[in-house]
């Protein structure tokens, strides 16, 4: 299994880790910790050392209740960091954005992946992604970040998320994005209540069977805190349990803040499931 991202092929024969690098002042977990270019590049170097295959750079928080950020402000945050990472490492760089202008600027700076919580539904987003030949991650989200956790409702959450991902994947292919460039994300924690999240996690094999690699992000999510009674910085073990579960159920990419620990957990599950030489 492979993920084609511009002139790069990411091998997904074994599951890999996508390390989160938020360069924002207000992210729920690490807001303002990497808001300067120097701090962001220091963290990026650490993510590389810890074994990630991808760095996902975000300049706008998507936490519940987060406010919108002007696209030029977002560009000013992410482009210098992406340029710096590209200059110091061969690691694949992803831009976490829903704005076509930001996507284009990030790709010009060295990104080869667009990770969009809005599944490339903004006008012009699919066309730009197709023209650039980037890898894309299409995520399901009910609503938008500012309001997504205000009483999310589903009749059948698995069916509705499945139908959305299948539909958006088809639209991307019709727009010229190569099928092998698309991965899917059920959007754990994005417009979902506690039971929705648990149901989606129980049913991950259904998403892994949709014909595209599956990305799962559960790192430090609020529902872990709700179940375990843990603060944001105390959710590592819960997140590792879910990462191991996701990989055993077919996820090929795990997006996380906690790269070193998650890399080890994912690697161990892979060794058990596939053997050392697979």
From 4, 77, 192, 221, active-site residue: 221
Q: Catalytic annotation on 230?
A: no
From 4, 63, 128, 255, active-site residue: 255
Are 15 and 251 in contact by the 8 Å Cβ rule? The answer is: yes
State the SS3 of 187-212: CCCCCCCHHHHHHHHHCHHHHHCCCC
Task: Tell me how many degrees the CA angle 191-197-199 measures, rounded to the nearest 5.
Answer: 130
**DSSP label of 59:** S
Structure token pair of residue 266: 């994912």
Residues in the chain: 278
- Give the active site residues: 221, 255
């Amino acid at each position: 299994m492979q993920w084609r991202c511009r002139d790069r092929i990411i091998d997904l024969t074994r599951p890999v880790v996508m390390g989160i690098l938020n360069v924002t002042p207000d992210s729920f977990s690490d807001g303002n910790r990497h808001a300067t270019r120097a701090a962001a590049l220091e963290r990026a170097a650490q993510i590389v050392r810890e074994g990630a295959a991808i760095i996902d750079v975000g300049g706008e928080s998507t936490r519940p209740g987060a406010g919108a950020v002007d696209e030029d402000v977002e560009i000013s945050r992410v482009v210098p960091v992406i340029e710096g990472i590209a200059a110091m490492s061969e690691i694949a760089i992803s831009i976490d954005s829903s704005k076509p202008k930001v996507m284009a600027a990030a790709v010009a700076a060295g990104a080869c992946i667009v990770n969009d919580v809005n599944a490339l539904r903004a006008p012009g987003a699919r066309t730009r992604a197709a023209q650039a030949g980037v890898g894309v991650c299409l995520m399901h989200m009910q609503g938008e970040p500012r309001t997504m956790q205000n009483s999310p409702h589903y009749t059948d959450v698995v069916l509705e998320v499945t139908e959305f991902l299948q539909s958006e994947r088809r639209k991307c292919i019709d727009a010229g994005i190569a099928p092998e460039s698309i991965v899917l994300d059920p959007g754990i924690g994005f417009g979902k209540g506690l039971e929705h999240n648990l149901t989606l996690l129980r049913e991950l094999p259904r998403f892994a069977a949709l014909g595209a690699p599956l990305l799962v992000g559960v790192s430090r999510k609020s529902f872990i805190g709700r179940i375990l009674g843990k603060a944001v910085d105390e959710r590592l073990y819960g997140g590792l349990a879910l990462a191991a579960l996701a990989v055993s159920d077919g996820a090929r990419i795990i997006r996380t803040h906690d790269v070193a620990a998650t890399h080890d957990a994912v690697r161990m599950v892979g060794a058990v499931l596939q053997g050392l030489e697979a």
